[in-house]
Amino acid sequence: MFYRKKENSAPARPYFVACDTPNRPLCIEKMSEAIQTSSKAKGAFVKMYIENFKTFNNAFGYEYGGMLLNEVAHYLSEELCADVYRYGGVEFIAVMEGASFVQATEGVEKVLDRFERAWRINDLDCMCSVDVGIVFYPDHAPDAETAASHLEQAVSESAERGQNQYTVYNQELIQKLQRRQTIANDLKDALKSGKGIEFRYRPTYCVAKKIFTRAEGYLCLISPTLGRISAQEFLPIAEQLGLVCAVNQLELRHTCGLIRELLDEKKDFESIAVCISPILFLQECFPEDVRALLAEYGIPAEKLAFELSESILIDSFSQVNIVMQELSELGVEFILNEFGTGYSGITNILDLPVDVLKLERLFVWQLEDNERSGILIEGLISIAGKLGLKIIAEGVETENQLQKLAAYGCPYEQGFYYSPTVEAEGLKELLQSL
């Protein structure tokens, strides 16, 4: 599909090739031409990827899908005053010759606003979202192929940020991408050498016993050039690389070894938890692998806990339930993270073999200045108690939070008020002996 931008002298009359015929070669040719003449006028390339299109296409047919693409392309041509090409699939590239930074970004913001409303296709309303990337030439586009690559990176960045977002390919993004690549390389090296991943633990305080009785694993990647990288930053990269299972398996083995050491040293503890990726958890062989590890290290299943994010229940509830039931029968403990965030209903908790709920730290932090947060926390703690479930409040940092949680009857607490993350030897010192 190709739309000719409108001229100042007359209204635009769009010309297009059939929607099932992407015009990538023609687009690359036009981008090359624009770059070659950029000494006279700089400009911008804008790439857009339409989300949710497959669902609409499958539901209403290719004819409606084609009309939707036509409608979108025509709109882009008019709004951006640009030549618009269907680059492939549900991707469009607009060539905005002579456009300044302000013109390009303001045009894209109007496009994003349009995607907040439904597209009317005959008698149907279709809601779509869009991921947008902008590359200014010739600054970040010495040639068309490089421009296309940079556009793809910018679109991917927008997709990570959420629906209807745009990203400009600039020095800030370049630095972010370089950092991500460095982390990816360091992670590969760490898994290959067995060195570079640091295993730490967050201790959990039992209010009734006034001692630490539990802990959960916390990973850091030690980069030779960037220093310590948190799990929040490097684990998403591990998922993109297909390495998250290897990381999780390494942590699981390390935790089983620590549990064995704690038992040998006769330490008093309830369990040590590992935060498990859904990708590993839903592998068919995972329950059997857990059995093998428990037997290899000779540890009771109830000393090992798996922490799952509540958001996993949205798309995979049935599969998760099956695996949880199988491992629960062995005695493995389950902790449900993000409790109270609304990802899943309370009814889901009733159907799952959950032992512990972890109260989202945001609620705890809001105790400082939001009285309604206290009402919510008290209610959640009461619900957990009546269901016979343990509950852990994470993110406890102040005396005020401590006192309020005590008034609500929270049995377990975790956070910097009690202890920062510690290495295995530090955890051994915190745990009392039998």
- The gap from C-alpha 381 to its chain's centroid, in whole angstroms, comes to 28
The pLDDT of 115-129, averaged and rounded, is 87
Does pLDDT of 17 surpass 60?
no
Give the residue from 109, 169, 167 showing the smallest Cα distance to 139. Answer: 169
pLDDT in tens, 187-230: 999 999 989 999 999 999 999 999 999 999 999 999 999 999 99
Q: What is the pLDDT of residue 11?
A: 37
Q: What is the pLDDT of residue 20?
A: 44
Give the residue from 274, 270, 272 showing the smallest Cα distance to 213. Answer: 270
- The gap from C-alpha 69 to its chain's centroid, in whole angstroms, comes to 29
Q: What are the residues whose beta carbons fall under 8 Å from the beta carbon of 294, sequence distance 6 or more?
A: 256, 300, 301, 304, 330
Q: What is the pLDDT of residue 434?
A: 78
Q: Are 234 and 187 in contact (CB under 8 A)?
A: yes
Task: Supply 274's token pair.
Answer: 């590992």
Give the residue from 363, 398, 362, 401 showing the smallest Cα distance to 380. Answer: 363
Between 178 and 310, the higher pLDDT residue: 178
Q: Is the dihedral of CA 425, 427, 432, 434 positive or negative?
A: negative
Distance CA 176, CA 171 (A): 9
Q: Are 368 and 389 in contact (CB under 8 A)?
A: no
Laid out side by side, the sheet with 165-168 consists of 2-3, 83-88, 91-97, 43-50, 130-137, 165-168
Q: How confident is the model at residue 259 (pLDDT cuts 50, 70, 90)?
A: very high
Give the residue from 239, 209, 222, 92 showing the smallest Cα distance to 151. Answer: 92
Q: What DSSP element (H or E) covers 26?
A: helix 24-36
Q: Are 71 and 155 in contact (CB under 8 A)?
A: no
Q: What is the pLDDT of residue 347?
A: 64
Q: Are 395 and 359 in contact (CB under 8 A)?
A: no
Q: How confident is the model at residue 342 (pLDDT cuts 50, 70, 90)?
A: low
- What pTM was estimated for this model as a whole? 0.80
Amino acid at 4: R
Backbone angles phi, psi at 196, to 5 degrees: 115, -15
Distance CA 352, CA 348 (A): 6
Q: Which residue has 């006192």 as its token pair?
A: 403
DSSP 3-state of 210: coil
